[in-house]
């Protein structure tokens, strides 16, 4: 894994999506292809409404199967258009054409959604005896769990006219504010010495530098780059907080996180148990940061030191090498998973390089079962980017296998959505660790892994605390100022970091580029849930060895066709066990102990 001669990495620059697969071959005129899909979906939705509206109370089992099959096809067609527009926008958020297409798709998609609203409202209104009779119908497997979970929303649904109004107003309400926030953050550039203006993600990657002055300077420059649009982003965030407050009140949700828990098929009690279990173990990240201060020769870390490399091992990994490492790890575990990963590399299913206007971070878009998923990266040649690639391809193989369940069941609730991604990342981490030639190299890798767990488990729970504080403030006190956001952000971070890390004044504005807070309120705890679940699943793999592969693939192939508890049972994990979270946290702590030993072996402490 020697460093490439140049970070320009020409092959990486060619790693880009071809989204025309979503448009049934209408690649020469994407807008026409999108419009054709939406017109087809709208026509079928109109016919569907004429056929079934007002008639669900008298439908029989065969009729329900026919209705759900047609509804699945409509959702697939509309989702193809929606996926195309969102993915095109994510790779160039500054393109007026992409923005206009996204708005067009959202408007037409809302019209389709509004036309079909009646179905789930009438389904939820059926009495339990009638619903249970219909759910027992043979041949309904492709939609049974979906229909069961939909009935859990009965206490929170409004009348059909009210639901129509809310759906149509969302375009000029919530969706518009989320888009504004995303466009604002995607446009942020940071001026760096000798490089000029670079995208935010590229600047943040400099926080891994072993040079403290580079890290400190970068943090100041990032804070400076966040400042110009800070008030606008705060206003958008305030508006979305108020919108959610109103929505929760109208739908009788008892607290700000209740709707998210319901969609995750997780009880309030289990989520609270997760959050409290992680907060009770905040000493784990603090212990790591104290060790890290020793390794860096510092009395105490500042926030901009948290991601610093602890060794001089500043290895750059080119795109061809990254592909080889990840492919080998997946193929060695499972021929089937390895075959799916090879498709991502062979086909234009990945968008890899950093570009101006491209959305930051990384994600995998599931799309629809009849089309393949798409992975977005911002690959900067760091070793952790290889782990990010492995992570997102874990989502990718999950999407491919879960797609066999159809559109209603291809995706899991968010609480299980990270299982395959973290598992895949852990496989690749193992490969990298095996190839480490020295204690110093092992220390470097273990540091990256521990910091990944801190970011995914402990930091996400701290971010959940930040969300709790701001939603509570908005509901009990009123609109938040920029200073209010900064103070509550600092409070949540200081609780996590304790006396191990100094939270600087500059860091108080760094909440303002996190997309999950605005696009998916309450989402972040699912990362911790998924990470700890995946670690437990990986622990089962270590115990069982090769025989575990078949159960694991069956878990991924089940998609979201069962409850989280039933899915866990496929791989021998009991999500109802009150001690479940501590088992995952114990695995994180054991890795910390390995790092402490590697530091001693390397003569660093």
Q: Is 521 left (phi over 0), alpha (psi -120 to 50) or beta?
A: beta
Give the model confidence (pLDDT) of 354-404 as tens digits.
999 998 889 999 989 999 999 999 999 988 899 999 999 999 999 999 999
Whether the predicted pLDDT of 435 surpasses 90? no
Beta sheet of 350-353, edge-to-edge order: 350-353, 374-379, 363-365
Query: So what's the pLDDT on residue 536?
Result: 85
Are the C-beta atoms of 212 and 305 separated by less than 8 Å? Answer: yes
Give the model confidence (pLDDT) of 538-554 as tens digits.
888 988 888 899 999 99
Tokens of 335: 């021929």
Give the model confidence (pLDDT) of 30-77 as tens digits.
889 999 999 999 999 999 999 999 999 999 999 999 999 999 999 999
Q: Which residues pair with 316 in a beta bridge?
A: 382
Domains in the chain with CATH codes: 19-172 (1.20.140.70), 319-438+525-560 (1.10.1370.40)
- Name which residue leads in pLDDT, 312 or 295: 295
Cβ burial of 243 (10 Å; 0-12, 13-18, 19+) is middle
Cβ burial of 7 (10 Å; 0-12, 13-18, 19+) is exposed
Residue 95, classed as helix, strand or coil, is coil
Sign of the torsion angle spanned by Cα atoms 461, 464, 466, 469: negative
Q: What is the dihedral of CA 399, 404, 405, 411, to 10 degrees?
A: 0
Give the model confidence (pLDDT) of 494-548 as tens digits.
999 999 999 999 999 999 999 889 999 998 998 898 888 888 888 889 888 888 9
| Nearest in space to 130 (alpha carbons), one of 71, 60, 62 | 60
Cβ burial of 434 (10 Å; 0-12, 13-18, 19+) is exposed
- Name which residue leads in pLDDT, 205 or 287: 287
- pTM, two decimal places: 0.79
Helix axes 30-52, 96-125, angle to 10 degrees: 10
Query: So what's the pLDDT on residue 430?
Result: 87
SS3 content of the chain, % helix, strand, coil (to 5): 70, 5, 25
Which has the minimum average pLDDT: 43-47, 139-143, 146-150, 565-569?
565-569
Whether the predicted pLDDT of 129 surpasses 80? yes
Q: Could you give the maximum distance between any two Cα atoms of the chain, in Å? A: 76
Tokens of 348: 């234009």
| Nearest in space to 449 (alpha carbons), one of 274, 337, 272, 310 | 310
Give the model confidence (pLDDT) of 204-251 as tens digits.
989 988 899 999 999 999 999 999 999 999 999 999 999 999 999 999
Whether the predicted pLDDT of 478 surpasses 60? yes
Query: So what's the pLDDT on residue 313?
Result: 66
- Name which residue leads in pLDDT, 426 or 220: 220
Place of tokens 């997780």: 266
Whether the predicted pLDDT of 4 surpasses 50? no
- Name which residue leads in pLDDT, 151 or 7: 151
Sign of the torsion angle spanned by Cα atoms 226, 229, 235, 236: negative
Please provide the DSSP assignment of 363-397 as one string: EEE---TTS--EEEEEE-SBHHHHHHHHHHHHHHH
Whether the predicted pLDDT of 27 surpasses 70? no
Cβ-proximal residues to 395 (8 Å cutoff; 6+ apart), any chain? 363, 364, 366, 373, 375, 417, 420, 421
Query: So what's the pLDDT on residue 3?
Result: 37
- Name which residue leads in pLDDT, 35 or 415: 35
């Amino acid at each position: 894994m020697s460093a490439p001669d140049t970070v320009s990495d020409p092959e990486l620059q060619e790693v880009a999506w071809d989204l025309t697969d979503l448009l049934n071959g209408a690649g020469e005129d994407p807008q026409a292809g999108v419009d054709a899909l939406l017109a087809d979906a709208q026509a079928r939705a109109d016919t569907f409404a004429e056929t079934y509206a007002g008639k669900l109370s008298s439908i029989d089992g065969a009729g329900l199967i026919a209705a759900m099959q047609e509804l699945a096809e409509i959702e697939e067609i509309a989702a193809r258009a929606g996926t195309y527009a969102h993915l095109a926008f994510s790779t160039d958020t500054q393109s007026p054409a992409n923005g206009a297409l996204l708005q067009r798709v959202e408007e037409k998609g809302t019209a389709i959604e509004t036309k079909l609203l009646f179905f789930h409202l009438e389904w939820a209104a059926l009495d339990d005896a009638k619903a249970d009779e219909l759910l027992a119908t043979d041949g309904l497997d492709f939609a049974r769990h979906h229909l069961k979970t939909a009935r859990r929303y009965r206490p929170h649904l409004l009348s059909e006219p009210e639901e129509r109004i809310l759906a149509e107003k969302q375009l000029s309400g919530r969706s518009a504010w989320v888009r504004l926030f995303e466009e604002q953050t995607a446009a942020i550039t940071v001026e760096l010495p000798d490089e000029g203006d670079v995208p935010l993600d590229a600047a943040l990657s400099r926080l891994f530098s072993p040079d403290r002055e580079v890290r400190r300077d970068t943090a100041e420059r990032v804070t400076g780059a966040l400042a110009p649009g800070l008030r606008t982003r705060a206003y958008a965030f305030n508006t979305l907080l108020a919108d959610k407050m109103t929505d929760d009140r109208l739908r009788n949700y008892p607290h700000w996180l209740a709707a998210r828990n319901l969609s995750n098929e997780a009880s309030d009690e289990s989520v609270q148990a997760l959050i409290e279990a992680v907060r009770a173990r905040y000493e784990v990240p603090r212990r790591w940061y104290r060790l890290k201060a020793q390794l860096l020769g510092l009395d105490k870390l500042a926030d901009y030191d948290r991601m610093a490399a602890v060794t001089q091992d500043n290895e750059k990994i080119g795109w061809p090498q990254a592909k080889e490492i990840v492919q080998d790890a997946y193929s060695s575990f499972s021929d089937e998973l390895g075959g799916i990963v090879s498709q991502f590399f062979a086909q234009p299913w990945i968008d890899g390089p950093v570009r101006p206007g491209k959305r930051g971070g990384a994600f995998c878009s599931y799309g629809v079962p009849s089309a393949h998923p798409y992975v977005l990266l911002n690959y900067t040649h760091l070793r952790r980017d290889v782990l990010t690639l492995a992570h997102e391809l874990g989502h990718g193989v999950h999407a491919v296998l879960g797609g066999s369940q159809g559109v209603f069941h291809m995706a899991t609730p968010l609480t299980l959505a990270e299982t395959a991604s973290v598992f895949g990342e852990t496989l690749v981490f193992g490969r990298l660790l095996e190839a480490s030639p020295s204690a110093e190299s092992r220390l470097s890798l273990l540091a990256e892994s521990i910091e990944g767990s801190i970011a995914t488990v402990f930091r996400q729970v701290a971010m959940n605390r930040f969300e709790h504080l701001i939603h509570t403030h908005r509901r009990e006190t009123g609109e938040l100022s920029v200073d209010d956001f900064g103070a509550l952000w600092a409070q949540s971070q200081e609780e996590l970091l304790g006396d191990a890390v100094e939270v600087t004044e500059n860091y108080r504005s760094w909440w303002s580029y996190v997309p999950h807070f605005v696009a998916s309120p309450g989402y972040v705890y699912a990362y911790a849930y998924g990470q700890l679940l995946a670690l437990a699943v990986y622990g089962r793999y270590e115990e069982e060895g090769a025989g575990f592969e078949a159960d694991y693939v069956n878990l991924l192939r089940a998609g979201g066709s069962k409850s989280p508890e039933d899915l866990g049972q496929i791989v021998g994990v009991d999500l109802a066990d009150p001690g479940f979270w501590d088992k995952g946290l114990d695995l994180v702590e054991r890795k910390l102990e390995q790092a402490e030993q590697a530091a001693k072996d390397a003569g660093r402490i």
